[in-house]
């Protein structure tokens, strides 16, 4: 029986401690916030609180799983830093999972069609998105992730007419990306991420490393040399 700590800060900050059980993952403790700009302040204290609530310590964990994005630089780095630091301190393996996979996992759990798109807010009036297949109740990545303006996502080419999109990216741009019912506010979440990780580990699948998926350059740039006055 495996017990893991799951963290995702690609959109909101979330964390959870999960244990694989009979046919389904058992959530021992969970945390999530709707604030998309306080990841660095809340993630580490939230993990400490989850450990207290669950009665699990570092020696009681088998692995740490972290969402590697895509996501904005500052928020995504916060979760990765916490996961890597705790993994080093506790001597645990740290695995990565693409954050959009957690939305895809929730979609297939709610009878998503054979092919579907998951999307999140990328700011700058863009979305992060990926194309998935519902493979007998398991999300399988077909294409992506990408970052584009909503109108540039080739939704009709990928899925045909009448297609709907899963995730908060669709909720922000419903005209271009019609949201699936009940999924207009869905963000990557540590519980879904951890549940998916436990299932993949049980099947012996290899997970990602913790290299972040930024997809574009940072807003912050190193200043260039000053221009000469003359």
Q: Which two tokens stand for residue 158?
A: 């990928």
Give the model's pLDDT for residue 174: 97
**Three-state SS at 34:** coil
Name all domains of the chain by residue range, CATH numbers in brackets.
3-99+188-202 (3.30.420.40), 100-172 (3.30.420.200)
pLDDT in tens, 65-121: 999 999 999 899 999 999 999 999 999 999 999 999 999 999 999 999 999 999 999
What's the predicted TM-score (pTM) here? 0.91
Taking the C-alpha atoms of residue 71 and residue 100, their distance in angstroms, rounded to an integer, is: 10
pLDDT in tens, 6-20: 999 999 999 999 999
pLDDT in tens, 205-220: 999 999 999 997 654 4
Whole-number average pLDDT of the chain: 92
């Amino acid at each position: 029986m495996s017990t893991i700590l799951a963290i995702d800060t690609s959109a909101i900050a979330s964390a959870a401690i999960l244990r694989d059980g009979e046919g389904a993952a058992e959530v021992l403790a969970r945390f999530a916030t709707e604030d998309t700009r306080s990841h660095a302040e809340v993630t580490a204290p939230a993990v400490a609180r989850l450990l207290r609530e669950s009665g699990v310590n570092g020696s009681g964990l088998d692995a740490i799983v972290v969402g590697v994005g895509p996501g904005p630089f500052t928020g995504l780095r916060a979760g990765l830093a916490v996961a890597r630091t705790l993994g080093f301190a506790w001597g645990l393996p740290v695995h990565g999972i693409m954050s959009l996979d957690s939305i895809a996992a929730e979609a297939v759990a709610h009878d998503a069609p054979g092919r579907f798109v998951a999307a999140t807010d990328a700011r700058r009036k863009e979305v992060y998105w990926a194309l998935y297949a519902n493979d007998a109740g398991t999300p399988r990545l077909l294409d992506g992730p990408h970052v584009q303006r909503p109108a540039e996502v080739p939704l009709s080419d990928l899925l045909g007419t009448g297609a709907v999109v899963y995730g908060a990216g669709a909720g922000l741009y419903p005209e271009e990306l019609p949201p699936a019912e009940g999924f207009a506010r869905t963000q990557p979440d540590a519980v879904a991420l951890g549940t998916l990780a436990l299932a993949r580990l049980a099947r012996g699948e290899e997970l990602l490393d913790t290299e972040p998926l930024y997809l574009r350059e940072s807003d912050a740039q190193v200043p260039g040399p000053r221009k000469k006055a003359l």
